[in-house]
Structure 1
């Protein structure tokens, strides 16, 4: 991290509310969690007097999830920690980094913290860019907040072009497990960042990982903090990654509810197509704050998406369970 950059870099706004009486559609986490999590956590807490091991079981479970070698997996305390770790070993001061827009605001912030120069390009155009002038290119798939996933064939072709120019490709797959698309983990010259926060509904536990091969893998493993996951986080993460039935059930629910919500919301708003557990809405000539306030008056929080670069008339809503989604649809029906 560049000490001189820290003074000029600000925090990035995020969704999520602390009030337990509010139904939160502003953060895109699963409202359900896998069975058995509490028991696994309690059992792990009893052995937390010792330092964590080498995370062998976690690496194996993660590798099976993204179809790579266990050695390629680098445990991190959340997906954002994987992104910071990747940028810390690939970006030098004044390096240019290509990032999508609109997209997750932390990319630009993390690049700046390394002293790098973030350059924005519309996410739809990014895979057509020439990577030669960049130290790193960041791809978010599915993109947040728009929801579209990158075509895997085009993404692999772009990864090949990045290798030709010695440009590292950082792929944020925080929401990819809500799709049927393959991970890019194990592809040479690529760092994949994964989060267990979204699918498994455990944002406060902070579990994730990076995946890379060759020299990239060695640099990530050297630079990562020792004991990067606490024992409870590692044990719960391993348990969650093994819950394939839970994942399939969640994907079916999200797909069904997303289609239903999009059809209903399209009567009033321009709704973006999505492969993710959220929908981006263009509210048109309405004031975004009025839409956010109208939902809040009904005890519901939605995300003001004007904090994303290039969006000025948008809100983002999560896809939750049927009865919760019904409350959102009712709250926005007359806005």
Structure 2
């Protein structure tokens, strides 16, 4: 990190801070796997000792979860920690990095903290960008906040071109677990970042991991801080990644509700096609403020998507339980 750049880099706004309303501003599963509370409680008995280093049980669970060699897994305290580790080990002061827009604002922020320049590329065109002369390229799949999922063949072709140019590619798969699409974990030239926050409904746990091969993986392993994954996160995370029935049920519910909600809301909004557990809506005929405030009056918090670069008249809404989703539809349609 470049100390001289820190004072000029602002924080990035996020959703997920509602206390007394139904939370649609954060893309987090409202359900958690059965048995999580018991595992978390049992973990307390081991917090008086340092966690094992490296956390081989967690690494083994993550490797099985994405079907890679455990040697390629780097455990981290959440997906964002994986992103920071990847950017810290690939970007230097004065470099440039390709980042999608609109997309997760932390990509550009982390690049700027390194004293480098984030070069925005429309998220619909990121796989057509020229990676030459850039220190890094970032892809979010599915993209946040648009929900776009990229064709696997196109992703692999972009990674190959980038690898030939000497440019590592971060593939942020924070929401890929909500789909049955195949991960890029284990692909040479790619650093895959995974989060357990979203799919397993545990944002306060702070558990995730990166996957990288070859010299990229070695750099991440060497730079990773020891004991960077606390005992509750290690044990609960490993347990969650083995809950295949929960994952399958979540995928089915999210897909079914997302498609139904898109059909209903299309009466009043332009609804972006999505493969993620959220929908991006373009607001017409009224202000974004009016939509956000109407939802708030009904006890629902949605994301004002104007905080994302290039979006001017948009809101983003998560996919929750069916009854909650019906309440949101009524508020958005003002019925």
Structure 1, unpaired ranges of 5+: none
- Does residue 275 in structure 1 map to residue 279 in structure 2? no
Task: After TM superposition, give the deviation of residue 44 of structure 1 in Å.
Answer: 1.2
- Does residue 205 in structure 1 map to residue 205 in structure 2? yes
Question: Which residue number corresponds to residue 98 of structure 1?
Answer: 98
Contact kept? 2:257, 2:319, Cα under 8 Å = yes
Q: Give the distance between the partners of 1:66 and 1:131, measured in 2 at CA.
A: 26
Aligned positions, number: 334
For each residue in 1:262-320, what CA deviation from the matched residue of structure 2 results, as whole angstroms up to 9, or x when unmatched? Answer: 01100000000000000000002421111000000000000000010000000000000
- Does residue 177 in structure 1 map to residue 201 in structure 2? no
Contact kept? 1:17, 1:301, Cα under 8 Å = no
For each residue in 1:225-252, what CA deviation from the matched residue of structure 2 results, as whole angstroms up to 9, or x when unmatched? Answer: 1101001100000000000100000000
Question: Which residue number corresponds to residue 119 of structure 1?
Answer: 119
- Does residue 217 in structure 1 map to residue 233 in structure 2? no
Q: Give the distance between the partners of 2:49 and 2:223, measured in 1 at CA.
A: 22
Question: Which residue number corresponds to residue 23 of structure 2?
Answer: 24
Q: Give the distance between the partners of 1:231 and 1:239, measured in 2 at CA.
A: 12
Question: Which residue number corresponds to residue 74 of structure 2?
Answer: 74
Task: After TM superposition, give the deviation of residue 45 of structure 1 in Å.
Answer: 1.2
TM-score (norm 1): 0.98
Q: Give the distance between the partners of 1:89 and 1:30, measured in 2 at CA.
A: 31
Q: Give the distance between the partners of 2:88 and 2:235, measured in 1 at CA.
A: 27
SS of 1:74's equivalent in the other structure is strand
Question: Which residue number corresponds to residue 3 of structure 1?
Answer: 3
Q: Give the distance between the partners of 1:45 and 1:147, measured in 2 at CA.
A: 37
Q: Give the distance between the partners of 2:245 and 2:148, measured in 1 at CA.
A: 24
Question: Which residue number corresponds to residue 38 of structure 1?
Answer: 37
Question: Which residue number corresponds to residue 305 of structure 1?
Answer: 305
- Does residue 317 in structure 1 map to residue 322 in structure 2? no
Q: Give the distance between the partners of 2:222 and 2:202, measured in 1 at CA.
A: 27
- Please provide the CA RMSD for this pair: 0.8
Deviation beyond 6 Å, 4+ runs, structure 1 = none
Task: After TM superposition, give the deviation of residue 17 of structure 1 in Å.
Answer: 2.1
- Does residue 152 in structure 1 map to residue 187 in structure 2? no
Q: Give the distance between the partners of 2:285 and 2:16, measured in 1 at CA.
A: 26
Q: Give the distance between the partners of 2:311 and 2:242, measured in 1 at CA.
A: 38
Task: After TM superposition, give the deviation of residue 7 of structure 1 in Å.
Answer: 0.6
Q: In the superposition, relative to structure 1, how do residues 18 and 291 fare at CA in structure 2: closer, same or farther (>3 Å)? A: closer
SS of 2:311's equivalent in the other structure is coil
Structure 2, unpaired ranges of 5+: none
TM-score (norm 2): 0.98
